[in-house]
Amino acid sequence: MSLNKIYDSKFVQIYTEEGKFKKSERYEYIYRYLNSNIEDVQIYKSYQFPYNLLSISTGFLFAHPVGKERAKIPVLPDYEYRDYKTNLKCLSNGFINQKDINTVMKIRPSKNCHPNCINDYIIGMNINISDKTKSQINKNDLFKHFVEIQAKFKNIKEWKQYIYENCPINIHFMKKITNNTFKNKLTEKDMAIDYDIHDVNEIEIIRVIENTFEDMSQTVKILDNYNNIFDRIKNECDKHNIKYNSSEEVKHKNLKYKGKLKNMRYKGIRWIELKYSDLMKLNITYKLTDFIS
């Protein structure tokens, strides 16, 4: 038994599921209505693809084969779901009746997390950037508690029963799930961090949080903007001999596309790609509008 995710948007996750199913179970959709007073989980089972439901709901769609005929998934809008390891969010309620804290963090399941990751928790702390003698955030303790509060499903059947009853629309699970998946231990990749800061040293605290949780060896892609951030980063990389990839590097220079050399621009926009740790080395003064997409 296995599940393979073939579509993942902000609202709908679609899995193909292997096994023996009835014709009336070709499409199985567990969902909640959007912008509605109806909060109960709804379940749709039919041979027909739920076109109309997808536009007014959010949930999990399981597509099943019937006999030798595989379930067909039509072309759907490309609404990419984006999530990051660390995210600045409004968590103001975490500061209510709390003294001596300047940071609230929500430790939650990440995108493509283990299917046992269904719970989150909130913690408040005081990050003192002037104290360089001790670690401000104990990542190991946070991860240990994150693991402790998660479910202990043993197989796909138990996990799907949870989906039927709860339809956790804010959690986007891993792309391939088998019964053996549930034998695997959780890792730090299954954990994401939302945070809110009430302090004059907000930027410095953000740096502490990112240095604690972000993977410094990950590759980041920056799209060009009205401030010419592409040229600013590229010039700094060239000055310091830092390696990067960009949309302007044509791999096959002898090939032409409609009479012109073909680049790899994203919807016509230039981009540059480099290691996060290398990006941090560059002497760049960013503008507020650099962070507005």
**Domain residue spans of the chain:** 1-80+156-168, 86-150+186-213, 219-291
- What's the distance, Cα to Cα, between the start and end of the chain in Å? 41
Over the stretch 20-76, which tens digit does the pLDDT of each residue have? 777 777 899 999 998 877 779 999 999 899 999 998 999 999 998 876 777 788 888
Neighbouring CB atoms inside 10 A of 17's CB total 19
Confidence (pLDDT) at 260: 62
Q: Is 118 exposed, middle or buried (0-12, 13-18, 19+ CB in 10 A)?
A: buried
Confidence (pLDDT) at 253: 57
Confidence (pLDDT) at 134: 65
Confidence (pLDDT) at 132: 67
**pLDDT average, residue stretch 162-175:** 96
**pLDDT average, residue stretch 164-190:** 96
Neighbouring CB atoms inside 10 A of 255's CB total 9
Distance of CA 239 to the CA centre of its chain: 33
Q: Is-contact 116 179, C-beta < 8 A? A: no
**pLDDT average, residue stretch 144-159:** 97
Judged against a pLDDT cut of 90, whether residue 290 lies above it is answered with: no
Confidence (pLDDT) at 63: 92
Across the chain, mean pLDDT equals: 90
Q: pLDDT band for position 78 (50/70/90)?
A: confident
Q: Is-contact 256 192, C-beta < 8 A? A: no
Over the stretch 240-287, which tens digit does the pLDDT of each residue have? 999 999 998 866 655 655 556 667 888 888 999 999 999 989 999 888
pTM reported for the whole predicted model: 0.84
Percent above pLDDT 90 for the chain: 66
Percent above pLDDT 70 for the chain: 94
Q: For residues 29 and 46, what is the distance between their CA atoms, to the nearest angstrom?
A: 9
Judged against a pLDDT cut of 80, whether residue 172 lies above it is answered with: yes
Over the stretch 206-231, which tens digit does the pLDDT of each residue have? 989 998 999 889 999 999 998 999 99
Confidence (pLDDT) at 105: 97
